[in-house]
Amino acid sequence: MLYQVYESQRALLSPFAEFASATSKLYNHPLSPFAHTPGAQRVSAGLDLMHRLSKEYEKPPFDINSVRVDGVDVAVQVQVAITKPFCRLLRFKRFTDDLPMLTRMKDQPTVLVVAPLSGHHSTLLRETVRELLKDHKVFITDWTDARMVPLAAGAFHLDDYVGYVQDFIRHIGPEVNVISVCQPTVPVLAAISLMATAGEATPRTMTMMGGPIDARLSPTSVNNLATNKPYSWFENNVIHRVPTNYPGSGRAVYPGFLQHTGFVAMNPDRHLTSHYDYFLDLVRGDDSSAEFHRDFYDEYNAVLDMPAEYYLDTIKVVFQDFALVNGTWHVHGKPVRPQDITSTALLTIEGELDDISGAGQTRAAHGLCSGVPKSLQFHYDAIGAGHYGIFSGRRWREKVYPTVRDFIASHQPAAAEVATPRVAAPKRVKAIAPLPAQASAARRKPFAPKLVPAPTKAVLKLAGAAAKKARRSAT
């Protein structure tokens, strides 16, 4: 019923939002007589803000038409490689008439970016893709808004997510390098584990960024919500049916508008300040700052519905039962055994200021992947970066991406000939010093190994005790 009420409210506000937009332009256009009345800029700014607060936000495009690769402009075309009911596999195909550059691009590593299915569209990783395209052939998972999937397509569980990832890896081939950002770190690790257990070829590398591999460690507000509320609370309070005006009418989902409310509620003062600053920028005529605000919130406010089965599975498996780290997770009846992975190099990345996936949660993958040689295990702490900073913004471009790029390059067949000897003993590091972004592949140094000790049993025991204490204090 809540979804229907929301849709009715949206339909009611829609004409007022458009009226506010038109009137704002009337008070802002230089040829309009209203633009020269006292206080016109404040009226226009207020109406523009009203329009943005009440409008419906659609999925934005990737808008990556070209990238500059070592001084050469390369055209980019988005192609659909695979279409499934709940996801499309997109390929960013690069084109150039420069023959030496074309030859070089053919030999570059292939990357599969597994985008999160956690409220926002895959376009949230636009900057991630743009940087990767400079040195890689790039694929990305583009998850479908569940309200657009007819009921006839069936349900979509966390197990199905794992199956999708496996199908995409098989389609691209064993030469793929998998990058998972936030939520998909868990199903991606499960997918590769199951492939290893079955004797299939596994990816050359897997990079896991800011994900809840072990949500018991350094629990955040997101973790606490999932652990302090019983499973039945999520079933009864956040799951609703899609209204009749969408193709997925009747499908049980976790609506995007509820997720968006949760996002804003995490930092309400920050969003309030941002909107007020936007109003002031419009009044002052600071078009550059105003456009930056629009670009950010066009992406941030565009949300999708998640299938109820998938969301509830994630709550139970990842945040309540901790099934992956406890070794109790079965996907389609098969046990998930990360220790069976032996030949895939592992890089984990965490943001120092990440308030969604706490310190140590992603790094815990090293302890689970005990079959991977220590010489193939690496960890990077992005100093000063929050959750979004590890895959977008200046810190992603200048610190995190060079590390990811060189890690992938060092584990390709051609890199084996110039690999440096591995150190014998593990050592703890704060960060891996990135190479200059403009360094060409021919001048890059081999990736220096930085080994990470796995969390000890004592650490896990303390983390479990802390989680139990938090649950008792909430009841």
The pLDDT assigned to 224 comes to 87
Among residues 334, 344, 348, 349, the alpha carbon closest in space to that of 371 is found at 344
- Name the pTM for this structure: 0.84
pLDDT in tens, 380-400: 999 999 998 999 989 999 999
Annotate 300-319 with three-state secondary structure: HCCECCEEHHHHHHHHHHHH
| Distance in angstroms (rounded) separating the CA atoms of residues 44 and 48 | 6
The pLDDT assigned to 411 comes to 94
Element (DSSP H or E) covering residue 293: helix 287-300
pLDDT in tens, 251-310: 999 999 998 888 888 788 989 999 999 999 999 999 999 999 999 899 889 999 999 999
DSSP state of 214: T
pLDDT class for 469, splitting at 50, 70, 90?
low
Question: Greater confidence, 74 or 452?
Answer: 74
Cβ partners under 8 Å of residue 154, min gap 6: 85
pLDDT in tens, 176-188: 999 999 999 999 9
| Joined tokens for residue 56 | 């419906």
Packing angle, helices 256-266 and 268-284, rounded to 10: 90
The pLDDT assigned to 336 comes to 97
Domain boundaries, the chain: 2-56+265-300, 66-233+306-474
pLDDT in tens, 83-110: 999 999 999 999 998 898 998 999 999 9
Question: Greater confidence, 472 or 155?
Answer: 155
Instruction: Kindly give the pairing relationship between strand 87-95 and strand 176-181.
Output: unpaired
pLDDT in tens, 47-65: 999 999 999 999 999 999 9
| Distance in angstroms (rounded) separating the CA atoms of residues 113 and 179 | 5
In the predicted model, is pLDDT for residue 457 greater than 70?
no
pLDDT in tens, 316-375: 999 999 999 999 999 999 999 999 999 999 999 999 999 889 999 999 999 999 999 999
Q: What is the fold, at CATH topology level, of the domain defined by 66-233+306-474?
A: Rossmann fold (3.40.50)
Instruction: Kindly give the pairing relationship between strand 330-331 and strand 334-335.
Output: antiparallel
- The pLDDT mean for the chain works out to 87
The pLDDT assigned to 462 comes to 55
Contact criterion met (CB below 8 Å) for 251 and 149:
yes
Computed on alpha carbons and rounded to an integer, the radius of gyration of the chain in Å comes to 24
In the predicted model, is pLDDT for residue 451 greater than 50?
no
Among residues 258, 113, 256, 254, the alpha carbon closest in space to that of 182 is found at 113
In sequence order, the β-bridge partners of residue 40 are none
| Distance in angstroms (rounded) separating the CA atoms of residues 257 and 275 | 19
Judged on CB neighbours under 10 Å (0-12, 13-18, 19+), 34 is: middle
pLDDT in tens, 16-43: 999 999 999 999 999 999 999 999 999 9
